[in-house]
């Protein structure tokens, strides 16, 4: 990878000012350059190049696809710092956040696919029921071109994690990157393209398009065979509506309002440290970030004291200029949203113990790490996704109340439960309506790539990761062929007077509830068959 430039300028963007997408470092507000907002015709041309490239790629062996991913993984491991710096410049997160949230899960994703991808996508035999002379199986064939609509919070991760399984499944990928993190997209995409080119494949198997919402809509309308979208519920509805015009299937990951339940027997050292990780990693800008903490009376005061002390000690500032714990907010509008939600909560009785303000003195888009207590469900911040560095703590009197409030949400992505009693934790975890729940840790469900990732309710539908995620990138095709060749087959026409009785008795023979009933039906079927044969 080349040394990161201070400015990455797109020549086409500078030639047409009305189509410019400006890029800046959210931690310093330093301009980084610009990219072009692409039109529908331009997006369609990109998709067609991908479709042409996919024809040969779809015929490659799993061994060759593994070789490509292995080289990509080797490159990532050898260039971790450069990749992290690109992400930090574009999103404002710290280097450690980039390593843990961008590089680590991508490496684990590739490792899972290398080890399990061929097995997950190999033809799968299925029982053929009463048709014993036939064999049945499912094949997982490439779709063609997969469209990916990437959010802005993890520019490397959000490009790579959907692309890896789609590519391994034999598809081409066209990704529309966020206008807020477009600067890093080309060099990150070049990791795929350079490896593909070196191994003799068309680099147009992986391409990016840039622009605003109109470009995203153009990608959905461009003729792609499936769309993977990660973003807000509001935008997810727009994607789904646009996709319905062409009956394009979609997988929607639409964020969460994830609860953390701290029960009265929890290990508070561990629970408080995991709460810090779940709330303040990437400045809280994570779909699986901990947005609500339900802490039982018996441990509430001590837990609040612990997290308050830890939050006060957090250092914040431009992450490439000094060692800090918390970086900047990527999207300017998100600071307004956090302020609005905090103002509503304080008006209704909540108290800010730490933080609660912007930090314009730091020179960028910073919001202080915040601890908010005395929160209840009359407050917007208990119901709406805040996507920022705010620890929202609710006191509860019982396990039952904690579960009830945890489920009092339209979202249902992830959750976590802390207790020293593992059986209790698993019981509580089962009662929380979410796509995944972790006992005594935060966020590990995503790092276990064998598990499907996704939510319920307004958190979306469909799954990524695991065999479910790989197969979501495929046409699941049912196949039937001969196990034993039998001539003739079933002949229905012309229909005879006994044809219906024959059909009825065959059904009774196969599905009758007792041996006697099946025997009587078999006798009737034989009589009907003789009648038909006699003409």
Burial (Cβ within 10 Å: 0-12, 13-18, ≥19) of residue 333? exposed
DSSP state of 337: H
Is residue 287 annotated as a catalytic residue, yes or no?
Answer: yes
| Neighbouring residues of 452: CB distance < 8 A, sequence distance ≥ 6 | 435, 463, 464, 465, 466, 468, 469
- Alpha helices by DSSP H, 326-391: 332-347
| Cα–Cα nearest to 90, from 207, 180, 8, 1 | 180
Collapsed DSSP state (helix, strand, coil) of residue 137: strand
H helix count then E strand count, the chain:
19, 19
- Whole-angstrom distance, CA of residue 87 vs CA of residue 84: 5
Collapsed DSSP state (helix, strand, coil) of residue 141: strand
| Neighbouring residues of 519: CB distance < 8 A, sequence distance ≥ 6 | none
Plot region of 284 (φ>0 → left; ψ -120 to 50 → alpha; else → beta): left
Task: Give the active site residue among 150, 287, 473, 474.
Answer: 287
| Cα–Cα nearest to 388, from 375, 405, 370 | 370
The answer to whether residues 192 and 208 touch, using CB atoms and an 8 Å cutoff, is no
Greatest alpha-carbon span in the chain = 97
| Cα–Cα nearest to 105, from 158, 150, 168, 175 | 158
Task: Give the active site residue among 102, 253, 291, 385.
Answer: 253
The answer to whether residues 330 and 92 touch, using CB atoms and an 8 Å cutoff, is yes
- Whole-angstrom distance, CA of residue 458 vs CA of residue 447: 23
312: number of Cβ within 10 Å? 12
Catalytic residues: 253, 287
């Amino acid at each position: 990878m080349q040394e990161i430039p201070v400015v990455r300028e797109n020549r086409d963007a500078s030639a047409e000012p009305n189509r410019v997408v400006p890029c800046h470092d959210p931690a310093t507000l330093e301009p980084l350059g610009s990219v072009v907002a692409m039109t529908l015709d331009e997006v369609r041309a990109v998709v067609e190049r991908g479709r042409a490239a996919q024809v040969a790629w779809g015929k490659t062996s799993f061994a060759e696809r593994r070789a490509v991913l292995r080289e990509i993984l080797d490159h990532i491991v050898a260039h971790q710092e450069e990749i992290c710096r690109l992400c930090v410049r574009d999103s404002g997160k710290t280097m450690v956040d980039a390593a843990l949230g961008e590089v680590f899960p991508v490496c684990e994703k590739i490792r899972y696919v290398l080890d399990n991808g061929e097995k997950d996508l190999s033809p799968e035999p299925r029982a053929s029921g009463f048709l014993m002379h036939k064999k049945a199986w499912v094949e997982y064939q490439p779709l063609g071109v997969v469209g990916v609509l990437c959010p802005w919070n993890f520019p490397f991760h959000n490009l790579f994690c959907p692309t890896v399984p789609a590519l391994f499944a034999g598809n081409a990928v066209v990704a529309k990157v966020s206008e807020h993190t477009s600067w890093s997209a080309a060099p990150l995409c070049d990791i795929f393209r350079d490896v593909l080119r070196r191994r003799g494949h068309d680099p147009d198997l992986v391409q990016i398009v840039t622009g605003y919402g109109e470009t995203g809509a153009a990608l959905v309308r461009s003729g792609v065979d499936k769309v993977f979208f990660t973003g807000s519920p509001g935008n997810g509805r727009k994607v789904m509506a646009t996709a319905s015009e062409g009956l394009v299937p979609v997988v929607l990951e639409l964020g969460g309002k994830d609860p953390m339940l701290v029960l009265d027997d929890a290990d508070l050292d561990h629970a408080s440290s995991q709460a810090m990780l779940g709330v303040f990693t990437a400045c809280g800008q994570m779909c699986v970030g901990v947005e609500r903490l339900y802490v039982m009376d018996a441990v509430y005061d001590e837990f609040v004291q612990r997290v308050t002390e830890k939050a006060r000690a957090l250092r914040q500032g431009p992450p490439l200029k000094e060692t800090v714990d918390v970086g900047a907010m990527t999207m300017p509008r998100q600071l307004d949203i956090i302020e609005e939600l905090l103002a509503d909560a304080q008006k209704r009785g909540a108290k800010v113990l730490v933080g609660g303000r912007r930090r314009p003195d730091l020179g960028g888009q910073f919001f202080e790490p915040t601890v908010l207590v005395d929160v209840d469900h009359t407050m917007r911040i208990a119901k709406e996704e805040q996507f920022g560095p705010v620890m929202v703590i609710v006191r509860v009197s019982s396990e039952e109340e904690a579960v009830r409030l945890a489920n009092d949400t339209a979202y249902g992505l992830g959750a976590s439960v802390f207790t020293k009693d593992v059986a209790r934790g698993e019981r509580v975890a089962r009662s929380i309506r979410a796509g995944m729940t972790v006992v005594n840790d935060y966020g590990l469900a995503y790092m276990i790539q064998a598990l499907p990732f996704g939510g319920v309710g307004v958190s979306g539908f469909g799954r990524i990761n695991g065999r479910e995620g790989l197969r979501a990138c495929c046409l699941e095709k049912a196949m039937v062929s001969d196990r034993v060749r039998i001539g003739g087959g079933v002949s229905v026409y012309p229909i005879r007077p006994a044809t219906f009785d024959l059909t009825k008795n065959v059904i009774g023979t196969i599905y009758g509830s007792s041996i006697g009933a099946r025997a009587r039906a078999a006798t009737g079927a034989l009589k009907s068959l003789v009648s038909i044969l006699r003409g």
